[in-house]
Amino acid sequence: MSKNLIIVPTYNEIENIRLIVTAILKEDPSFEVLVVDDGSPDGTADEVQKLKSENAGRVHMIQRSGKLGLGTAYITGFKYGIEHNYDYIFEMDADFSHPVSALKPMLMLCSEPDTGVVVGSRYVKGGDISNWSTYRLMLSFGASIYVRLITGMRVKDPTAGFVCYKKEVLAAMDLSMIRFIGYAFQIEMKYYATQLGFKIKETPITFIDRELGTSKMDTSIFKEAVIGVLKMRFRNYKR
Ligand SMILES: Nc1nc2c(ncn2[C@@H]2O[C@H](COP(=O)(O)OP(=O)(O)OP(=O)(O)O)[C@@H](O)[C@H]2O)c(=O)[nH]1
Ligand SMILES: [Mg+2]
């Protein structure tokens, strides 16, 4: 049985954290969770502490001092995953936008020898988004087309935050090369993986807009992404 780690970054997810951790642990006995909490004022970390003692050895937590951004939270989590020798390392949001039921299909696909990364994808056949406004749909779909045009990546959902990495992929990366701290981090990780020659596959998911808790999304994210993706295209990740 492989060692599998699901990294869940959190900032004020008190309404979701117990439900999501419990759902992940129930999905498969091989699944362990690492919460990377950025000092959430709502007490998310206290709840994770309880979950740790209730589920010995299967729940882990890294606490950071303040809201330091999604990208750096994941990098902290990836380093933990590599150091503790997990075979497969996932990224997943705390707010149930990413269906827990896709974890096992993603793991299966990722275990194929030619595969390095598997994306839980909204934009492949069978994928969908529920509850989004037309505006947000167009923004997200437009972003995916922009990224594919600029980078030449074939991935249909390059901004997706639901991802499974084979350990070898993360271990091959110099994580200090990653420039983005916000959501464009997701694009950069996929680009870096393809630059290193790893194959990315996609599993269809239905993305569900958050029902509990509040969004951390703002427009600075888009500024970072639009210019940043262009710059990224001209950086050399292979040195
Ligand atoms: N540790 C950490 N987690 C974060 C940070 N920003 C967001 N998150 C978490 O990252 C995940 C994705 O953030 P969301 O607020 O759901 O972003 P989103 O999905 O684009 O926005 P919504 O549509 O409102 O859900 C959630 O689990 C958040 O709690 C951060 O700065 N640090
Ligand atoms: Mg969300």
Residue extents of the structural domains in the chain: 4-233
**Reported confidence tier of residue 239, pLDDT bands at 50, 70, 90:** low
Nearest CA to 20 among 30, 2, 34?
34
d(CA 165, CA 200): 9
Q: Mean pLDDT over residues 151-174, rounded?
A: 97
Asked whether 17 and 35 are in contact (CB, 8 A), the reply is yes
Check residue 174 and give its pLDDT.
96
Q: Could you tell me if the CB of 95 is within 6 A of ligand 1?
A: yes
Q: Mean pLDDT over residues 48-64, rounded?
A: 97
Asked whether 48 and 59 are in contact (CB, 8 A), the reply is yes
d(CA 230, CA 136): 22
**Reported confidence tier of residue 40, pLDDT bands at 50, 70, 90:** very high
Model's pTM, two decimal places?
0.95
Instruction: Locate the ligand 1 atom nearest the alpha carbon of residue 183 and give its number.
Output: 20
Q: Could you tell me if the CB of 210 is within 6 A of ligand 1?
A: yes
Q: Could you tell me if the CB of 198 is within 6 A of ligand 1?
A: no
Asked whether 116 and 230 are in contact (CB, 8 A), the reply is no
Q: Where are the alpha helices (DSSP H) in the chain?
A: 17-27, 44-54, 70-83, 103-110, 134-151, 167-172, 185-195, 220-233
Q: Could you tell me if the CB of 47 is within 6 A of ligand 1?
A: no
13 Cα: distance to centroid of ligand 1 (angstroms): 9
Which of 70, 129, 135, 163 has the most ligand 1 atoms within 8 A of CB, as the residue to mutate? 70
d(CA 127, CA 137): 13
Structure tokens at 173: 């990366």
Ligand number, closest to the Cα atom of 182: 1
Question: At residue 190, does pLDDT exceed 70?
Answer: yes
Domain 4-233 adopts which CATH fold?
Spore Coat Polysaccharide Biosynthesis Protein SpsA; Chain A (3.90.550)
Q: Residue 175 in 3-state DSSP?
A: helix
215 Cα: distance to centroid of ligand 2 (angstroms): 6
Check residue 212 and give its pLDDT.
84
CA-based torsion, 82, 25, 12, 181: positive or negative: positive
152 φ/ψ sector (left φ>0, alpha ψ -120 to 50, else beta): left
d(CA 90, CA 105): 12
Question: At residue 213, does pLDDT exceed 90?
Answer: no
Nearest CA to 38 among 58, 10, 60, 15?
10
Q: Mean pLDDT over residues 12-39, rounded?
A: 98
Check residue 222 and give its pLDDT.
74
